Amino acid sequence: MKTLLLSAISLGLAAPIASASSGSATAVLHADQPGAVINRNLYGQFTEHLGHCIYGGIWVEPNSPIPNTRGIRNDVVAALREIRVPVVRWPGGCFAEEYHWRDGIGAPDQRPSMINTNWGGVVENNHFGTAEFMDFCEQVGCEPYICANLGSGTVQEASNWIEYMTSDANSPLANLRRANGRDKPWHLKYVAFGNENWGCGGTMRPEYYSDVYNRFNSFAKDYPGNKLYRVACGPNGDDYHWTEVLMRNIHAMYQPETPGMDGIALHNYTIPVGHWTNTDKGSATNFGEDQYALTLAGAGHMDELVSKHLAIMDRYDSKKKVALVVDEWGVWTDSEPGTNPGFLYQQNSLRDALLAALTLHVFQKHADRVSMANIAQMVNVLQSMILTDGPRLLLTPTYYVYDLFKVHQDATSLPIEVTSPDYAYGQTSFPAVSASASRDAAGKIHISLVNANPHDSIALSCKLDGLASRSVSGRILTAPAMNSINTFDAPHTVEPAAFNGATVSGDTLNLTLPAKSVVVLEL
Which residues make Cβ contacts (< 8 Å) with residue 255, sequence separation at least 6?
none
| Residue 400 one-letter amino acid | Y
Q: What distances in angstroms separate CA 265 from CA 194, 328, 372, 426, one per listed residue?
A: 10, 8, 9, 33
Quick one: which of 492, 387, 382 has its CA closest to 48? 382
**Residue 464 backbone zone (phi > 0: left; psi -120 to 50: alpha; other: beta):** beta
Please give the pLDDT value at position 90. Answer: 98
C-alpha to C-alpha distance for 391 and 511, rounded to whole angstroms: 41
Which residues make Cβ contacts (< 8 Å) with residue 442, sequence separation at least 6?
none
Quote the Cα angle for 257-262-267, to 5°.
Answer: 165
Per the annotation, the verdict on 417 as an active-site residue is no
Please give the pLDDT value at position 13. Answer: 26
322-369 tens-digit pLDDT: 999 999 999 999 999 999 999 999 999 999 999 999 999 999 999 999
Report whether pLDDT(16) > 50.
no
Classify residue 186 by its DSSP letter.
Answer: P
**Contact between 360 and 326 (Cβ < 8 Å):** no
286-315 tens-digit pLDDT: 999 999 999 999 999 999 999 999 999 999
Q: Catalytic one among 132, 163, 196, 257?
A: 196
Q: Which residues of 495-507 are buried (b: 16+ CB within 10 A; e: fewer)?
A: ebeebebbebeee
Q: What distances in angstroms separate CA 148 from CA 30, 160, 195, 343, one per listed residue?
A: 42, 11, 8, 22
Per the annotation, the verdict on 328 as an active-site residue is yes
Report whether pLDDT(405) > 50.
yes
Please give the pLDDT value at position 255. Answer: 58
Q: Which phi and psi angles does 516 have, rounded to 5°?
A: 40, 60
Report whether pLDDT(60) > 80.
yes
For residue 502, the cross-strand partners are 511
Better pLDDT: 276 or 494: 494
Please give the pLDDT value at position 257. Answer: 58
Mean pLDDT of the chain: 93
Helices 350-365 and 289-316: angle between axes, nearest 10 degrees = 20
Please give the pLDDT value at position 274. Answer: 85
Please give the pLDDT value at position 81. Answer: 98
Please give the pLDDT value at position 6. Answer: 30
Please give the pLDDT value at position 20. Answer: 32
Dihedral sign from CA coordinates of 464, 465, 468, 473: negative
User: Residue 469: which pLDDT band, with cuts at 50, 70 and 90?
Assistant: confident
Residue 164 belongs to what H/E stretch? Answer: helix 155-166
Please give the pLDDT value at position 276. Answer: 86
Kindly state the average pLDDT of the residues 66-88: 98
Better pLDDT: 340 or 5: 340
Please give the pLDDT value at position 256. Answer: 58
C-alpha to C-alpha distance for 114 and 302, rounded to whole angstroms: 36
Better pLDDT: 276 or 423: 423
- The set of long-range contacts for 117-120, using a CB threshold of 8 Å and a minimum separation of 24, is 118/1, 118/3, 118/50, 118/92, 118/93, 118/94, 118/200, 119/1, 119/48, 119/49, 119/50, 119/51, 119/94, 119/95, 119/342, 119/343, 119/344, 120/50, 120/51, 120/340, 120/342, 120/343
**Contact between 354 and 298 (Cβ < 8 Å):** no
Q: Catalytic one among 328, 336, 417, 522?
A: 328
Q: Which phi and psi angles does 309 have, rounded to 5°?
A: -65, -40
Estimate the share of the chain in helix, then strand, then coil, as percent rounded to the nearest 5: 25, 25, 45
What percent of the chain is modeled with pLDDT above 90? 91
Please give the pLDDT value at position 21. Answer: 39
Helices (H), 392-477: 397-405
Kindly state the average pLDDT of the residues 434-449: 97
Quote the Cα angle for 471-513-487, to 5°.
Answer: 110
User: Residue 259: which pLDDT band, with cuts at 50, 70 and 90?
Assistant: low
Report whether pLDDT(14) > 80.
no
Please give the pLDDT value at position 253. Answer: 65
Which residues make Cβ contacts (< 8 Å) with residue 522, sequence separation at least 6?
407, 444, 445, 446, 472, 473, 474
Report whether pLDDT(463) > 50.
yes
C-alpha to C-alpha distance for 438 and 445, rounded to whole angstroms: 6
User: Residue 8: which pLDDT band, with cuts at 50, 70 and 90?
Assistant: very low
User: Residue 252: which pLDDT band, with cuts at 50, 70 and 90?
Assistant: low
Antiparallel, parallel or unpaired: β 458-465 and 508-513: antiparallel
